[in-house]
């Protein structure tokens, strides 16, 4: 089980580092040092949903390290680690008439669904940290944490206390 706190911090750190490096290093160096796999897919869907492409790429990197065949212990699949039920809901909400789990291994479909979902969460929560928490831990968890007046909390493996980000 991945830690939400670590994942959220990594996503924000990668996005922040990308912005800093982008301003301080020449483009040829950046392309060599930090190749963006599936760049046309990430940039295209970021543009379609008004997302920062660096944020979308950071989510893909954090979730799968750009491995389209990644599968989590929880059953999340593909580049953006979408659960099949979540992806099926996205497919239906965006005009699809059928859904096949194997399609989640297709980078274009996976990033299309994942970018739609991230955009949906950003609109719902109005806050990048909460949207990233909901993306990783689920909307139900984030909603419960908010109802309880807690910050982002996600239990680590084993019997450790929950990690919190206020």
Which pairs count as long-range contacts for 43-49, CB under 8 Å and 24+ apart, including other chains? Answer: 45/111, 45/112, 45/114, 45/115, 45/116, 46/115, 48/115, 49/115, 49/116, 49/118, 49/119
The single residue of 23, 25, 63, 156 carrying the catalytic annotation is 63
In this structure, what CATH number is given to the domain that contains residue 28?
1.10.530.10
CA neighbor of 80 nearest in space, from 94, 61, 95, 55: 61
CA 82 to CA 76: how far, in whole Å?
5
The whole-number pLDDT of residue 32 equals 65
First to last CA, the chain: 21
pLDDT of residue 26: 77
Within 10 angstroms of residue 22's Cβ, the number of other Cβ atoms is 12
As a whole number of angstroms, the distance between CA 81 and CA 121 comes to 15
pLDDT tens for the chain, 166 residues long, are 444 444 454 454 455 544 444 467 777 776 665 567 899 999 999 999 999 999 999 999 999 999 999 999 999 999 999 999 999 999 999 998 889 999 999 999 999 999 999 999 999 999 999 999 999 999 999 999 999 998 887 653 333 333 333 3
The residue segments making up the domain with residue 115 are 4-165
Please provide residue 84's backbone torsions phi and psi, each rounded to the nearest 5 degrees.
Answer: -55, -40
Backbone angles phi, psi at 77, to 5 degrees: -130, 145
63 is a catalytic site residue: yes
How many domains does one find in the chain? 1
């Amino acid at each position: 089980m991945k830690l939400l706190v670590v994942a959220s911090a990594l996503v924000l750190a990668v996005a922040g580092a990308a912005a800093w490096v982008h301003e301080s290093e020449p483009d040829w160096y950046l392309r060599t040092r930090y190749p963006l796999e599936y760049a046309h897919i990430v940039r295209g869907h970021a543009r379609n949903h008004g997302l920062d492409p660096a944020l979308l790429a950071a989510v893909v990197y954090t979730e799968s390290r750009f491995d389209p065949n990644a599968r989590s212990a929880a059953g999340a699949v593909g580049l953006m680690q979408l659960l099949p039920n979540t992806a099926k809901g996205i497919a239906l909400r965006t005009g699809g008439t059928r859904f096949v789990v194997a399609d989640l291994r297709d980078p274009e479909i996976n990033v299309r669904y994942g970018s739609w979902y991230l955009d949906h969460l950003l609109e719902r929560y109005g806050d990048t940290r909460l949207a990233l928490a909901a993306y990783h831990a689920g909307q139900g968890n984030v909603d419960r944490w908010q109802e309880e007046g807690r910050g982002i909390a996600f239990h680590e493996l084993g019997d450790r206390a929950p990690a919190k980000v206020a």
